[in-house]
Every structure is written in structure tokens, then in C-alpha cells.
Structure 1
């Protein structure tokens, strides 16, 4: 089984994933739109919410990409399997699959929120999927409680948002 990327219209990821899972084509074992958990302030209260991790993309698990491509054409929505029929459809690399498997929960394919402290200019993740992967963090927005990761996905560099709560900041004493 390999994992492939399906391009869809932005904002329609969950809807298209539901359509595919409802029709359940025989060549597609799993279809999902990974999401991430973060905190958002609504009505003066901080609440845990989820959003799409990679807007405009779904992932399918299939053993026959050509058959999956043909079956995706029957879906009443825009779907485009990355790659081409002539050159073959491009599955995710083992590193990309490992990243998805490591960072997302199996149930629901959600990247849970991480917790960190900042000491001087160093970020130390104390809990969550980013623990031990601090080098991936390129930027932190403490007010929106987000971390931005620079990743190489689908043959290009992408910036991905994930939830990160900084619970403490200490000034480093030299």
C-alpha cells in the first residue's frame, strides 16, 4: 500500500473526503484530510479547535494508483491525483509518510497541540508531537498559539501551521 496526494478545491477538503469515504471506491483503502489542533479565542474564551493541516490536499491509501485515479473521476467534485498517467502517479516518500504517521493521531488524523517553554532564543517542547523535533520550527506566533514548520512535501517546500502553546518564557542568563 502506498499513500498518494489528491488535490482538491481549498475549503472543500472535508466534504470531498466524506464523499470519497461514502462512495468507498474499492481501490482506495483510506481517504483523509489531516488537520491540526490549536487554541482560538471565541467570545472571550480560549477553545480548542481544528483546522486543515494542508489546505487543498487530501491523502489516499491505495495499492493501485491508476485504478484509484479512474475511480476518483466518478466523484462529483474536483479531484486531481498528483503525478501523471504517463509518468505514473507519485506516492509520498517514506519520509513524508513517516512524518504524517508520527505527527498525526491514527484516529481522525489530527496533529495534537504541543506545549513548550522558551529559554532565551531556544524553544524547548515539553509535550506533544513536536517534542524532539524543535529544529523543524521556523517561526512561533505566541499570540495565536501557532508554530510554523518548514517542510519538504510533494516535491516542494511548504510552511505548515501546527498548534503550540508557550507556557513559560525565561530570559537566558549569560
Structure 2
């Protein structure tokens, strides 16, 4: 039996959950897990801040399988745009160990969600005090204090992508 790996399926942006449901219908016995990684962030809805979820990698769903050829074959019967990422010569490339390690380090393994982080700004440095971003401040490319999010630069799918995650800045002070 081949080793199970994590593969990425490109889908129409904004339709990740719909595509995931369709893929699950045609993949019994082929996929061990199929999910859309998400992130938590605070959003202001009708004047109140609420904890909401957003798609971590818009336009992609993730599938754990040991048979990518069968996966690709069955995707042809999905009535929506689905394309297993790989080379042009019909070989399918699983996520690298580094990419899987990044996902496992930031997302809750059961829910596949990057939970909300909390931090402070001291001078021009961001210091994360709790949450999955703690200890990973170097990956933060930009902080949007008004939207309570941070953008991370992460190497995923063979290129550098910017992903949005929740980051609440609870205090800001000038450096001494």
C-alpha cells in the first residue's frame, strides 16, 4: 500500500465548500480526508465584533490520499471545476514535508482552522502573546489593526503566497 499524502485540488474561488461536498460524494474509498483550511478572525457585523471563519487558501481544497491517480480519474465526474495540482506530464505532486509541517503548525489538526492570535506592537515590532502565530512573528508581512488580521508570506504550491489570518492587537506602545 502506498504512503498517504496530502494533495491540493484547485476549485472555483468562493465555491470551496460546494466543491468539497461534490468531491466527497465521488471519492468514497479514495480519500481519507478532504477539507478546506480556514482561519478565524473578528469581523464587525451590524456594529458588533463577531468571531468568523474565512478560507485560508481561496480556490483550493486539500485531500489526503494514497492513490492520486484514482483521485484524478474520479474528479472528472465532479460537476464543477476541479483540477488536481501537478506537472503537465500527468504526475501529481503532493504537498512537501515543509508545506505539511506549516499547515500542522498553524492549524488545529482536528478542525483545520488557524485560530485567532493575540499580540502587542512595541515600536515597529509585532509580538504575538497567544495563538498559533506565537513564535512565528517573522512570517508576518503586514498587520491590519482595523480588520484585526495579519498577512503571512508562506511557501505553498511551489510559490510564495500571502494568506490572511486573525490577529488582535490588544496594545500598542512606542519603543523606549
Task: Return the offset for 1:22.
Answer: 3.6
User: Hey, what does 1:73 align to over in structure 2?
Assistant: 76
Task: Return the offset for 1:102.
Answer: 1.4
Equivalences for 1:1-174 in 2 at 5 Å? 1-84=4-87, 86-173=89-176
Task: Return the offset for 1:71.
Answer: 1.2
Q: Secondary structure at the match of 1:89?
A: coil
Q: How many residues are paired up?
A: 173
CA distance in 2, matches of 1:16, 1:122: 40
Contact 1:66-1:85 at 8 Å conserved across structures: no
CA distance in 2, matches of 1:91, 1:38: 29
Task: Return the offset for 1:72.
Answer: 1.4
Task: Return the offset for 1:85.
Answer: 6.7
Contact 2:26-2:74 at 8 Å conserved across structures: no
Structure 1: gaps of 5 or more residues? none
Q: Secondary structure at the match of 2:163?
A: strand
Q: Secondary structure at the match of 1:108?
A: coil
Task: Return the offset for 1:65.
Answer: 0.8
User: How far does the alpha carbon of each residue in 1:70-117 deviate from its partner, in whole angstroms, 9 at most, with x for none?
Assistant: 111122211000014725101100010011111111232111000001
* RMSD, aligned α-carbons: 1.2
